[in-house]
Amino acid sequence: MTIAPPFLSIRNLVKDFDGVRAVNDVSVEINKGEIFALLGSSGCGKSTLLRMLAGFETPTGGQITLGGSDIIAVPPHKRPINMMFQSYALFPHLTVWDNIAFGLRRDGLPKEEIATRVDQMLALVQLSAYGKRKPHQLSGGQQQRVALARSLAKRPQLLLLDEPLGALDKKLREQTQIELVNIIEQVGVTCVMVTHDQDEAMSMATRIAVMSEGQILQVGAPGEIYETPNCRFVADFIGSVNLFPGHVTIDEHDHVVIDSEEVKHFVPHGITGVEGMDVTVAVRPEKMVLQLEAPTVEQRVHANEHGHNCVEGVIASVAYFGNETHYVVRLDSGVELKVSRTNAGRYDESLRREQRVFVWWDGADAVVLTR
Amino acid sequence: MKFLTHLLSLRWITGRRFVIGVPFVFLVCTFLIPFLIVARISLSDVDPDHPLGTLLTYTDGMINLHAKIANYLFIATDDLYGLTYLSSIKFAAITTVCCLLIGYPFAYFMARAKPTLRPVLLMMVMLPFWTSFLLRIYAWKGILANQGIVNHLLLSLGWISEPLHMMNTPFSLLIGMVYAYLPFMILPLFANLSKMDLRFLEAAADLGATPMQAFWRITVPLSKSGIIAGSMLVFIPAVGEYVIPELLGGPETLMIGHVLWDEFFSNNDWPMASSVTVVVILLILVPMAILNKYQAEQREGGRK
Amino acid sequence: MTSTLQRWFGRGWLSLGYIFLYLPIVVLVVFSFNESRQDMVWAGFSTKWYGELMNDTEIISGFGLSLRIAVLTACSSVLLGTFAAFVLNRYRRFPGRTLFSGMASAPLVMPEVIIGLSLLLMLVSVQKMFGFPERGFTTIWIGHTLLGMAYAAVVIQSRLQEMDKSLEEAAMDLGCKPRQVFFLVTLPNITQALASAWLLTFTLSLDDVVLSAFLSGPGSSTMPIVIFSRARLGLDPRVNAVAALTILVVSIGVIASSIYLARAERRRLKEIAAAFKGE
């Protein structure tokens, strides 16, 4: 199997603003056809990185290569890259049709071809009847579709999305996520998107890069990032997590035992590390089991972990979400654990506040983090 | 035209430099250089051979610096000039205060009016502004004159037996000044007050403040920037106002604008007029700096 | 202060204020129809002053001159003002920015006598050195443009500030060369500001006394200069007639444009609402 060369290659990219380093030595490679998300909270540098790809900011250092050629020196209007702006940036003085045709006209394409393309694009986003309208005569969702059509009209090699769903309300967001991915995959364009919303990134992207303070902490498919975060920050940033700081007491090639304040952890695989090392064990709330009696040996998946990976505490709060219930369990030491369950059956009355419970999990579901 | 295109094709004349350069050159030529010339002439002798003044001349390999400060000394020592400056500032200050006292409630009630009524109220303030300023001041002559309307009315009502002497007095000057500058106070105040979040007042009421207390403790301080803007927009030009004192003022109303005019047109003493000009500029530099700083802050704040 | 009391106080204050603002205007118009010449005594209705105005060559030629200067000034002010507004709004850093900013805004507040005097001294010196320009049309135009540019820059700059910056980036992203961006995207979105600026500077120039007086020459008396010299001497009902005509034109203009703008805004809001329902 031949591995395709990376389509978009970013190497050691740096951007300084007035002595503040917004993007700090970022290197990543993006493959043709994938939807790549830059995920992070505001100020982490993701928007700056996107703008450097578009050409609106000049990097202080580093290289950007698209399809083999260096594009840093190329001004934005000459790059084969198109961007969909967070505010949509539809030209208010032009109709929908003219908005989409704008980029094509700049290229000097013949009239008939422009007409064909624009009609194609309108059909793609299902707005064929709206060509004559002006942007202010459209709803938010419709404006977004026009913005998308406009950015795809020139068949760019790379499509950039800046917080694409930020301006939409929740219901519309879920629907649009699916539509957006469908259209992008249908067209087959490589896409880099920027978002602070992890649900968006997880559901839409092929691969995600988690960013913080100008650096990329981890790159991987959504499942990878969620199940095997490589550091505390990523574990905590994506979804909810319970973190147990502790140190390694037994280090074997097929299992490790980690001591932390409330519980002994048994993890059924080896880790790269040494005895006595300080680590953090991360366990996701949905991997934990909540029950009134202590777990029996038969319930445990691995026999040797009986006595490990189990704590006792009191339910501090119950948050019912319809499909799920989130519990906060307070341990005797004061530490609070987050446990969540899907409500496969009806509402369980026996689990309420002040109830004493046991929480246990399978050691294989724990992730050991060294940083 | 060919020159222009040739100019634009030179490499270092980028689009950006052109856009900055054109207004910059215009301003330097019409604003900066004239002031420098004024400063220079103010330090020179009256000399028809050297229209640009005799401050710095070059003869036979010698650069002569010839600064005549007599004009400035005269201004500093002559009572008339000192009095005139003070008088100008005094009238400008009184005008500003009156405009504030009349204009603040005006703007306040405009801002509190029903949203549908507000544009109409605003338009009614703007309309006089678009009508000729000169003509409206001229109208006051007719109103306040001895045979004018007010006197005529009061005489026919029997409230007075002799016409009130109102023209060409400090009173008529101030009426004219306040009248002319009132919109300049109302508009920035209105802009400020209409944008104020009413929820501050609701919060104050919720915490136990009476309407009067809420007004003085919250509304007024929050409108501070509007007050400053309006006051500066009135005070600074009022100091050098010429037309109103000329038409409505009299022998008791010394204003520096008038003095400048006379010095220039009647006496033809350019160096003297220049010196007076320089002193006036120095006088208004401080208020202008305040206004500039406030406006810069406004823009930074709006540009989040 | 109770709420009703406050409301009545407010109405009273506003009414008195508006009466104060409009009294002179009303007086001007009423007395333009007065039969008698000197006294501000009503001697009967007459339109003779309007008739005399038609024969008043001084005022009519003054008006013609003022009008021509005003149109040219409005155009040059908007042009230069657009440049200045663009520079102040888009270019954060360049050598001399504070100086530029100060120069562009100072004419707004500086007493006109000062600007007039300085400009005149320079223009006279230039004339003595190069032989041109003669005091008159050109010099008045230059002075008015300096003042107008400052006003135009303020109006246009405030519009540029509220305009969505990403529109220009979007244009570039779609292949628009930087120079084209201004003409294809920025300009169409600031037309209303440009129109306001034009009207504002036109009015300013038409009405200006001090700068015109300093910068005019023999034979180039603008209408305000004519009116001003007559006003100094006393009351002249022909001036009232001019005033009434001006007020008429301005009132029609202001009211018509307000109605037009209000209607356009209402239509726009309806369209936006319809779009949200339609979706």
Domains of chain C: 56-237 (1.10.3720.10)
pLDDT score for B13:
61
The per-residue pLDDT for range B128-164, each reduced to its tens digit, is 888 888 888 888 888 887 777 787 778 888 877 777 7
Q: Do C275 and A138 touch (CB under 8 A)?
A: yes
> Is B51's Cβ below 8 Å from some Cβ in C?
yes
* Domain boundaries along the sequence of chain B: 2-65, 70-302
Question: How much is the ipTM here?
Answer: 0.80
- Would you state the pLDDT for residue C161? 85
Question: How far is residue B244's CA from residue B68's CA, in Å, rounded to a whole number?
Answer: 33
Contact yes or no, C with A (3+ CB pairs under 8 Å): yes
**Per-residue pLDDT reduced to its tens digit, B66-78:** 677 777 777 777 7
pLDDT category at C103 given cuts 50, 70, 90 is confident
Contacts of C143 in chain B (CB under 8 A): 30
pLDDT number for residue B64: 72
At residue A307, the 3 state secondary structure works out as: coil
Q: Chain B closest CA to C241's CA: distance in Å? A: 11
Rounded Cα–Cα distance for residues A138 and A93 (Å): 14
* Single-letter residue type at C15: S
B173's CB contacts (< 8 A; 6+ apart) are B91, B244, B245, B248, B249, B250, B253
Which residues 212-231 of B have a C-beta within 8 angstroms of C?
Answer: 212
The pLDDT, as a whole number, for residue B97 is 95
Q: What is the pLDDT of residue B303?
A: 43
Average pLDDT on C250-266 reads 85
Question: Does the domain made of B70-302 have the CATH classification 1.10.3720.10?
Answer: yes
Contact across the interface for B127 and C121, Cβ inside 8 Å: no
Instruction: List chain A domain ranges.
Output: 8-235, 240-369
pLDDT tens-digit map of C141-171? 999 999 999 999 988 988 888 888 899 999 9
Q: Which of C63, C78, C117, C154 to mutate to test the interface with B (most CBs of B within 10 A)?
A: C117
Instruction: From B244, B178, B233, B15, select the one nearest C150 (Cα to Cα).
Output: B233
Range of lowest pLDDT (B128-137, B194-203, B246-255): B194-203
Shortest Cα distance, chain B CAs vs residue C87, angstroms: 6
* C contacts of A139 (beta carbons < 8 Å): 275-276, 278-279
User: What is the mean predicted confidence (pLDDT) over C79-94?
Assistant: 87
CB atoms within 10 A of CB A24: 16
Task: For residue B102, list chain C residues with Cβ-Cβ distance below 8 A.
Answer: 17
Closest partner residue to A139 (CB to CB) among C164, C173, C275 is C275
Disruptive mutation site among C118, C128, C222 for chain B (greatest number of B CBs within 10 Å): C118
In chain C, positions 8-37, which contact chain B (CB-CB < 8 Å)? 10-11, 13-14, 17-18, 20-25, 27-28, 31
Q: How confident is the model at residue B4 (pLDDT cuts 50, 70, 90)?
A: low
The whole-angstrom distance between C10's CA and the closest CA on chain B is 6
Closest CA to C106 of B236, B130, B95: B236
pTM, full prediction:
0.82
How many CB pairs lie under 8 A apart between chains A and C? 76
Closest-CA distance, C226 to chain A, in angstroms, reads 45
Q: E strand or H helix at B120, and its extent?
A: helix B118-130
CATH number of A240-369: 2.40.50.140
State which CATH number among 3.40.50.300, 3.30.450.20, 3.30.565.10, 1.10.10.10 fits the domain covering A8-235.
3.40.50.300
Most confident among A258-262, A361-365, C46-50, C71-75 (mean pLDDT): C71-75
Q: Which residue of C has its CA nearest to B149?
A: C40
Which ranges of chain A have pLDDT less than 70?
1-5, 302-305, 347-348
* C174 → closest Cβ in A86, A103, A137: A103
Q: How confident is the model at residue B304, as a pLDDT?
A: 35
Question: Which comes out higher in pLDDT, residue A334 or C40?
Answer: A334
- Each residue's pLDDT tens digit, A333-353: 888 999 998 887 776 677 888
Work out the mean pLDDT of chain A and round it to a whole number. 89
How many whole angstroms separate alpha carbon C161 and alpha carbon C89? 7
